[in-house]
Amino acid sequence: MLKRFPFFKQLDAMDCGPASLKIISKYYGKNFSMKYLRDKCNITREGVSLLSISKTSESLGFKTLGLKTTFEDLKDKLLLPCIIHWEYKHFVVVYKITLKKIYISDPQLGLVTYNIKEFCKGWKRNEERGIVLTLEPTSEFFKQDPIETTSNINKYWRYLKPYKFLIFQSFLGMIVSVVISLFFPMISQSIIDIGIFTNDLDFINILLVASLVLTLSSVISEYFQNRLMLYIGDKTNISMVSDFISKLLKLPLKFFEKKMVSDVLSRIRDHVRIQNFIIESLLGLSISVLSIIIYGIILFFYDTTLLAVFFIATILYISWVALFLSKRRMLDYKQFDANIENQSEILEIFNSIEDIKINNIQQKKKWDWEKSRLDIYILNLKALNLNELQRIGTVIIDRVKNIVLTFIAAKSVMTGEMSLGMMLSVQYIIGQLNGPVGRILSFIQNFQEAKISMERVSEINFEEEEEKVFEGIEMPIPNESPINLVDASFKYIPNGPYILNNINLTIPYGKVTAIVGCSGSGKSTLLKILLRFYELTSGSINIGNTELKSVNIEKWRSLCGSVLQDGKIFSGTILENIILTEENINIERLNYAIKSSNILEMIETFPLKLYTVIGESGQNISGGQKQRILIARSLYKNPSYLFLDEATNSLDAKNEKEISDNILQFTLGRTSVIVAHRLSTIMNADQIVVLDKGEVIELGTHSELLQSQGKYYELVKDQVFEENINII
């Protein structure tokens, strides 16, 4: 029997590169986890480069060759399976080429087949050559010990443990429903064979009343089952998602920087799928199997031939449906991606409406949406055709089965082997058997989906938490000590360039240190490292004699106030955005923060004053208003350390000067680090650090650096002359 070529569904939108590498590794007998491969490939929100895939492959023990080649060379000369660049935006694995067909394992769609024209269009586009990465395993590859993550369903049982008794009650209710349903064929048979043939109307009335009572009992039982299932499902979902969000909040910033929002949101939906599978599918499967066994035994005693015909037809039914599973799955993937793209088109229109109008591209954007909607229609049409083909086959099998069973039962009645009542009972039993068979098929489909969901969720569970990344332990923070950076270097990805390179710097206690430099010099990155969003690649940061990474991360941040370039306003009132989680409001600090950030006048213009709702679900505010609220939030916190990154760049000149003076007063006796371009913000700093390409090139006060006429002078000279400031 030929071995089926491996396929692995990419877990995130930008996972195609690591997923393709996983597919080829699995083909050669090694099953690495996606998290391991993703980390090795240094994946970002933009995806991964062919160079990163090549370097990762070589670290695993592959010999690689990246090139642009013709289709003829790909077919005749290159080693398969290989990775190709598809439509200049996606990586897939080519594993087989015949005279007319090219076989691909696509991390997005599954195992797909293209003819030569379709393949060349997707691979080469309009060029003569396409991009290929060949991978040949060496002896080192086979020595690798695969690092795997498990997505075992067992760990989800802990969410059901608190509700074991309720689950048992629900299961018991299902059994009661099955037992009740067993009486209906017996009642039908007795009405015909005894009541009608003996003309006993009283007997018939008794059986009909019994049937009504049983029906009511069944309906009531199912109602309470559904109530229990809803309660259990809702509670387990809340627990699972709550744990998931808790885990997310403990992850380092770099995790969120390499994930798209849709990737995280899809994992929230994955929990619903897992919950439904565990509670509904597994319990439903148990009852379905029980029903098949019970009704199968009853049917066996009625007529073994009927049972044999039913099971043969069921096998044909399942086989026919199974033929369509892979195609349905591929279409589901395509429909999912097409719907996301269509939704993105709508969101882009709303988020970019000003640019759309100013550039008169309304028609183009409408056409873009219509094109994506047409793609959905085409996929829906394909899905409809596939579903209809499957339905026609299942209907034919089901109808032929029923005809054959009816014929056998009718013949048995005519020969006296079976009564008319028994025949009606058999028809009822067969109808009851059809339902469980359908549920078992649904279980198989749901299992495939739940398995992918478990893999996606489990991957997050294996991410290292922020505190563990930084090795934080309970060490006291020294009082009145400077912050020292010793040979501090940092880069975002292992194979990338250094953003900060060998920085040695002392940030004095209780003083203001300003950091200046051209865009991309590493200013904001340095600030985020001081806030412990990132870990240094090498070197250390110390507060006095205590290394910063040995301090509890939450304790450190509780002492820090910050206004970052990408600071956020939460949906809530102005007051809530300033005080955040504090329950006991310090009125003195609140008034000081409002006054120092110049937002009192703005607050007074709103009817609800401090209780005006702002953010996504409330009042729109300008960039300058947003920045002043962020400053108020930072000042209200009353921090020991203050970190400001272009905190006043959205303000007008008047507000900027007044607030800068207020901040300068606030920083007295506090260790403050300010990143800014405006001269008025930095000229009064106790120390100015000039960064260039991640290195400290100048250090001194404003007047000292102006007199030296170096890089700092070049950065601020225009502002010096505009504002008529003396150099000395």
pLDDT on residue 270: 82
pLDDT band for position 480 (50/70/90)? confident
Which tokens go with 553? 């991360």
The mean of the pLDDT values for the chain is 85
pLDDT on residue 709: 85
pLDDT (mean) for 559-575? 89
In this model, does residue 451 exceed pLDDT 50?
A: yes
pLDDT band for position 542 (50/70/90)? very high
In this model, does residue 469 exceed pLDDT 70?
A: no
* 493-504 pLDDT tens trace: 877 789 999 999
In this model, does residue 512 exceed pLDDT 90?
A: yes
Residue of 722 and 155 predicted with greater confidence: 155
pLDDT on residue 377: 92
* 299-329 pLDDT tens trace: 888 888 888 888 898 889 888 888 887 787 7
Q: Are 329 and 108 in contact (CB under 8 A)?
A: no
Q: What is the third-level CATH fold of 15-143? A: Cathepsin B; Chain A (3.90.70)
In this model, does residue 684 exceed pLDDT 90?
A: no
Class of the domain covering 152-303: mainly alpha
pLDDT on residue 392: 92
Share of the chain above pLDDT 90, in %: 26
Sign for the pseudo-dihedral over CA of 117, 121, 127, 131: negative
pLDDT (mean) for 184-206? 84
pLDDT on residue 504: 94
pLDDT on residue 688: 93
pLDDT (mean) for 13-24? 89
pLDDT (mean) for 10-23? 87
Residue reference for tokens 């004095």: 508
**Torsion angle of C-alpha atoms 586, 588, 592, 598, degrees rounded to 10:** 80
What whole-number distance in Å separates Cα of residue 172 and Cα of residue 225? Answer: 9
In this model, does residue 340 exceed pLDDT 80?
A: no
pLDDT band for position 728 (50/70/90)? very low
pLDDT (mean) for 287-308? 84
Q: Are 627 and 575 in contact (CB under 8 A)?
A: no
* 647-670 pLDDT tens trace: 888 888 888 888 888 998 998 989
pLDDT on residue 441: 77
What whole-number distance in Å separates Cα of residue 158 and Cα of residue 164? Answer: 10
Which CATH entry fits the domain spanning 510-520+562-726: 3.40.50.720, 3.40.50.300, 1.10.1790.20, 3.40.50.360?
A: 3.40.50.300
What whole-number distance in Å separates Cα of residue 143 and Cα of residue 139? Answer: 7
Residue 361: phi and psi, rounded to 5, are: -115, 25
Q: What is the DSSP letter of 24?
A: H
pLDDT band for position 94 (50/70/90)? very high
What whole-number distance in Å separates Cα of residue 53 and Cα of residue 42? Answer: 9
Q: What's the CA angle centered on 407, arms 402 and 410, to 5 degrees? A: 120
pLDDT band for position 153 (50/70/90)? low
pLDDT on residue 470: 52
* 688-702 pLDDT tens trace: 999 999 999 999 999
What whole-number distance in Å separates Cα of residue 319 and Cα of residue 394? Answer: 10
**Beta partners for residue 517, in sequence order:** 691
* 632-649 pLDDT tens trace: 999 999 999 999 998 888
pLDDT on residue 724: 52
DSSP-derived secondary structure for 592-622:
HHHHHTT-HHHHHTSTTGGG-EESTTSB---
Characterize the bridge pairing of strands 641-645 and 671-675.
parallel
pLDDT on residue 723: 54
- What burial class does residue 623 get, using C-beta atoms within 10 Å of its C-beta: 0-12 exposed, 13-18 middle, 19+ buried? exposed
Closest of 114, 84, 111 to residue 97, by C-alpha: 114
What whole-number distance in Å separates Cα of residue 621 and Cα of residue 563? Answer: 17
Q: What is the DSSP letter of 464?
A: P
What whole-number distance in Å separates Cα of residue 262 and Cα of residue 265? Answer: 5
pLDDT on residue 332: 77
- What burial class does residue 511 get, using C-beta atoms within 10 Å of its C-beta: 0-12 exposed, 13-18 middle, 19+ buried? middle
Residue of 696 and 225 predicted with greater confidence: 696
What whole-number distance in Å separates Cα of residue 705 and Cα of residue 378? Answer: 66
Characterize the bridge pairing of strands 671-675 and 512-517.
parallel
pTM of the entire predicted model: 0.74
pLDDT band for position 561 (50/70/90)? very high
pLDDT (mean) for 448-470? 74
Kindly list the distances between the CA atom of residue 189 and the CA atoms of 293, 411, 424, in Å, as whole numbers in the listed order. Answer: 21, 17, 7
Closest of 640, 639, 636 to residue 509, by C-alpha: 640
Closest of 519, 564, 459 to residue 692, by C-alpha: 519
Residue of 505 and 302 predicted with greater confidence: 505
CA end-to-end distance (rounded Å), the chain: 87
Share of the chain above pLDDT 70, in %: 94
pLDDT on residue 21: 93
Q: How many helices (H) and strands (E) does the chain have?
A: 27, 18
Q: Are 445 and 322 in contact (CB under 8 A)?
A: no
Residue of 674 and 619 predicted with greater confidence: 674
- Which range has the top average pLDDT, 35-39, 252-256, 664-668? 664-668
Q: What is the DSSP letter of 686?
A: S
